[in-house]
Structure 1
Amino acid sequence: MDWIERWTQEDRGRFRTGIVRARHRLADSGLFCDPALEELIETHPRELLDIAVMDEDGSSRSWTDMAPGARGGAELLEGARQGRVWMNLRQAFNIHPEYRALLGAVFAELRALHPRFRPDVIKGGLLISAPGARVPFHIDRTDTMLWHLRGKKRVYVYPRSAPVLNEADVEAVLMHPFSDDLPYRSEFDRRARVFDLEPGEVLCWPVHTPHRVVNLDGLNVSMATEYACADVRVRNHAMMFNGLMRRRFGLTPSIDESRGLGLAARAGLGLAARKLKLLPKPDAPAPEAAPGGEPLISAMGEAGHSGA
């Protein structure tokens, strides 16, 4: 079966350099109906299951981490359906055999479409989130693709340029151990491209592209894939070195100044600085733990479509 549909010649030209919106048939696998999701949540390693509860404003500082405890798959899925819950089953498509096979088949098709596309590491997580749940304004550290499966989701994709984004912002994310959030201002939305995703659509953009997500309707289910390519690793480590130079010595380096050996040299120095723990760590809000024994749905309140 061909899992990817409508991947045009224009999409081939834009892949990894621009925004691509295409169609897929992953729902035909039968792996994303309620019984399958309940079983997946039930059997997924608890240490790889992230659950966040969001306050009414859905801002980057309103997330509260919540331990799954002994809750079963049906209860957790119902909490996502009725509350303000965002769940990430990290590496679900690398651990569970049926899901791993699907991920492999999808990326085999991508490699066939793009013969020079050779990612080193491919990871796939399953995102399950409530109607109205929001993911704040952020960038990803690697290339990502969002394969939407259930519900309706609005994605705001912003330019990788000032005033929305500058290199210091990217450096701060790359140097921080866990926070991908960026400073957000509502006027940025005038520069965004907005995509309302329906089930069966995939959306991807160049690495380090700022974006945020708002669920519009229904229980939202998406496969989020990330992959590592050599060019992005080199760029990331070079930007870490630039961040060190900017913050420790007051310099104003630019990634665009470096090409070829210069870029590789900065990357090598950035990697060494990271391993030696010489990189400064910008401040970020620490996650706030929720009571582990609190019933999941009552912890959400009466969220529904309130934009949590």
Structure 2
Amino acid sequence: MEEPGSWLALYNVQTDARYAEALQRIVDDLRPVIEPEQPGIFLVTGFVFISAPPSVTPFHIDRENNFWLQLKGRKTMYVWDSEDREVIPARTVEDFIAGGGQEPFREAFIARGRAFDVGPGDGVYFPSTSPHMTRTDTSWVRPSDGISISLGVNFYTSVTRRTARVHQFNRLLRGMGTEPTYPGRSPLLDAIKAPMGHLLAAARYKRLGTTPPPGAY
């Protein structure tokens, strides 16, 4: 694993009982911070990323909230505001929630985000649809100490689910030539859109005969 550029990703580690217990314990410790703003935590999952620098995790967004914990080695985590429409357009978020692609990275984005130099014991939180990426250089590497190990703790809440449903309906409205109000701007509009977005997405996945992504509707 210490060969430069090597990497290994372990997804859905919660399928192992020991990991499931550890992930749940982490989330339970964080509930007092999370739940005042985002109640109703569900579907706690995790992944482990092991890499030998130099390495890069590409610029992307996720549907779930994420606590990124650095266990070994060092890494630079770049995070952008999920509300920054210059970095992540509303259309891109809507398409992604509905199963679409990602926004391409541009170097000009760097100045608009925040860079966290993380080492063992450090963590970074970024909520659903916050753009992020990582880079690992070789400056900290020493003999027998050349591996970065990170743990991602992912979860959904009642807020991420409602927001995803609003995005689903906004995507339909945008396709009709309108400029819909972004989730969170109007509680009244969100309350109207969310159930319709849920029905819309359920019908689409049924028609396609596919399983909807977790938290996407």
TM-score bracket, normalised by the shorter chain, equals: 0.7 to 0.9
User: Does 1:267 find its partner at 2:194?
Assistant: yes
Unaligned ranges ≥5, structure 1: 1-77, 279-308
User: Does 1:194 find its partner at 2:101?
Assistant: no
In structure 2, the CA distance between the partners of 1:86 and 1:243, relative to structure 1 (3 Å rule), is farther
Amino acid at match of 1:234: R
In structure 2, the CA distance between the partners of 1:113 and 1:184, relative to structure 1 (3 Å rule), is closer
* Aligned-residue offset at 1:260: 3.1
* Aligned-residue offset at 1:226: 0.9
In structure 2, the CA distance between the partners of 1:130 and 1:121, relative to structure 1 (3 Å rule), is same
Q: 1:168 aligns with which of 84, 91, 111?
A: 91
Kindly indicate whether the alpha-carbon contact (under 8 Å) linking 2:183 and 2:190 is maintained by their aligned counterparts in 1: no
Kindly indicate whether the alpha-carbon contact (under 8 Å) linking 2:78 and 2:113 is maintained by their aligned counterparts in 1: yes
Q: CA RMSD in A?
A: 2.4
Amino acid at match of 2:116: F
| Map 1:60-209 → 2, pairs under 5 A | 78=1, 81-92=2-13, 94-112=14-32, 116=36, 117-159=39-81, 160-176=83-99, 179=101, 181-209=102-130
* Aligned-residue offset at 1:185: 1.3
Cα deviation digits, residues 191-248 of structure 1 (max 9, x gap): 121111101111112322111111224322111011110011101110111112212x
Secondary structure (helix, strand or coil) at the match of 1:82 reads coil
CA distance in 1, matches of 2:43, 2:184: 28
Kindly indicate whether the alpha-carbon contact (under 8 Å) linking 1:167 and 1:254 is maintained by their aligned counterparts in 2: no
| Map 1:206-217 → 2, pairs under 5 A | 206-217=127-138
* Aligned-residue offset at 1:115: 6.0
Number of equivalences = 197
CA distance in 1, matches of 2:111, 2:33: 34
Unaligned ranges ≥5, structure 2: 139-145, 206-217
Secondary structure (helix, strand or coil) at the match of 1:276 reads helix
Kindly indicate whether the alpha-carbon contact (under 8 Å) linking 2:11 and 2:47 is maintained by their aligned counterparts in 1: yes
* Aligned-residue offset at 1:99: 2.0
CA distance in 2, matches of 1:163, 1:272: 30
Q: 1:241 aligns with which of 162, 169, 173?
A: 169
Match of 1:286 in 2: none
Cα deviation digits, residues 150-199 of structure 1 (max 9, x gap): 1111111123313212211211211226x4x3222111111121111101
In structure 2, the CA distance between the partners of 1:197 and 1:275, relative to structure 1 (3 Å rule), is same
Kindly indicate whether the alpha-carbon contact (under 8 Å) linking 2:163 and 2:183 is maintained by their aligned counterparts in 1: no
* Aligned-residue offset at 1:130: 2.7
In structure 2, the CA distance between the partners of 1:110 and 1:187, relative to structure 1 (3 Å rule), is same
Match of 2:143 in 1: none
Amino acid at match of 2:180: P
The TM-score, its normalising length taken from structure 2, stands at 0.81
Kindly indicate whether the alpha-carbon contact (under 8 Å) linking 2:69 and 2:121 is maintained by their aligned counterparts in 1: yes
Q: 1:250 aligns with which of 165, 177, 195?
A: 177
In structure 2, the CA distance between the partners of 1:163 and 1:260, relative to structure 1 (3 Å rule), is closer
Kindly indicate whether the alpha-carbon contact (under 8 Å) linking 2:64 and 2:127 is maintained by their aligned counterparts in 1: no
Kindly indicate whether the alpha-carbon contact (under 8 Å) linking 1:241 and 1:266 is maintained by their aligned counterparts in 2: yes
* Aligned-residue offset at 1:277: 1.4
CA distance in 2, matches of 1:112, 1:265: 29
CA distance in 2, matches of 1:113, 1:258: 23
| Map 1:4-15 → 2, pairs under 5 A | none
